[in-house]
Amino acid sequence: MRLMDAEARIIEALYKNRSRNCSKSFLHKNVFFREFDPDDKMLDVYVSRLRK
């Protein structure tokens, strides 16, 4: 299985900040480079793929 760029950025952000709780807002800013939109489920989809 090959990681997509966004999936790799999620893992990197979580790893680099493993000693803190990473909010969806934090991950959106650091992975997708934009503000968090509660209606946007893109982060949920990528995290679901990583969990599989």
SS3 5: helix
- What range does the domain containing 39 cover? 5-51
Q: What's 34's DSSP letter?
A: S
Say what the pTM is. 0.86
- The total domain count for the chain is 1
From the first residue on, what is the mean pLDDT of each consecutive set of 10 residues in the chain (52 residues)?
A: 90 96 95 94 95 92
pLDDT at 29: 95
pLDDT at 21: 94
pLDDT at 1: 67
pLDDT at 2: 83
pLDDT at 3: 84
Helices 42-51 and 5-16 meet at what angle, rounded to 10? 80
